[in-house]
Amino acid sequence: MQFTKLQGLGNDFVMIDARGIIRNWSSLAGRVCDRHRGIGADGLLALLSSDKADFRMRIFNPDGSEAETCGNGLRCFVRYLYEQRLIENATCTIETMAGVRPAKVINKPEGGTEIRVGMGSPEFNPDRIPVAATPEKGRLIDIMLGDYPLEIAGHTLKLNFVSMGNPHAVCFTDEPVAGFPLQNIGQAIGMHPLFPQGVNFEIARVTGDDEIEMRVWERGAGETLACGSGACAVAIAGHVLGLTTTNVYVILPGGRARVDWDKTSQAFLTGPAETVFTGEWPE
C-alpha cells in the first residue's frame, strides 16, 4: 500500500489514497501512527470519492478513533491533491464528517506555498459541542464563553467551550504556555465526564491584539505540535471575549497559523503544509 507522509506546522499525517480499497482503517491507524514500530504520525488520512464534494477525507487518530475534522490534516490533504494533480486548479471542496469544506492553494509571490481551508462556523450550543453543562439564564454564548470553572488535577481552570465540528475547551492564562503541565491536565480533561465524547484542550495566552500563543492536547492523540481546529477555537474564543481582533496569528510549538473570522461566515485557517516522504506500507 503506497503512502505519503505530510506535515503542517509539525502536525504530521500518513496519507493513503483509499479509493477502491477496503480496510479496517481504525485498526490500521494504530499500527501506522506508532512512532516506534510504524511510520509515525498524529493521524491517518484516507482519501475517498465523494458525491457531495470533489473528494472526501476521513481522519483516524493513533488510538483508532475517527475524528470529525482536522484543520492541519485538511491542509495536508489538499497539498497532496495539488501535488498529485488530482485537482485542476488551486481550489477544491472536501467532504468531512463535520461538513463540506472549501480549500485553496496559495503560491506566495515571495516563494513557498500555503493552504487556506474553511473550517466551518463555530458552535456554542452545549448539545452540539457536546458538553454536559446546562445554561440557566442568558444567551448560550455567554455561558459557553464565560470562563466555566473546573477543578481538575489540583488546578482551577476557567474553560470556554467551542465546537469547530469537533469539541474544544479553551483556557486562557496570563502565564507563558510553555510552563503549563499539559501532559497531566490534558489527559485528565479528556477523560472528564463533562465531555461525553471527549474534548480537545487548549491552553492559550494572548500576546497581542492579533496574536495568541497556545499548546494543545488532542483527543485521541495527546499533545501535538499544532492543531488547526484548536487554533480556530482559540482565536474565535479570544475575539468573542474581546481579547483580540478578527484576524489572528496563532503561535503553536510547530509554527504560526492565521485564523480569519468575521462573525458572519465560517472561519478560515491558513498555513504551510508539505510532503515529508513517500513509501510503501508492507501490509
* Beta carbons of 242 and 209 less than 8 angstroms apart: no
The verdict on whether 70 is a catalytic residue reads yes
DSSP 3-state of 56? strand
* Beta carbons of 181 and 146 less than 8 angstroms apart: no
The verdict on whether 227 is a catalytic residue reads yes
Select which of 33, 76, 92, 227 is catalytic. 227
Select which of 70, 76, 92, 171 is catalytic. 70
* Beta carbons of 45 and 15 less than 8 angstroms apart: yes
How far apart, in Å, do the first and last CA atoms of the chain sit? 7
b/e 207-239 (16+ beta carbons within 10 angstroms → b) = eeeebbbbbbbbbbbbbbbbbbbbbbbbbbbbb
Q: What are phi and psi of 8, to 5 degrees?
A: -130, 110
Residues tagged active-site: 70, 227
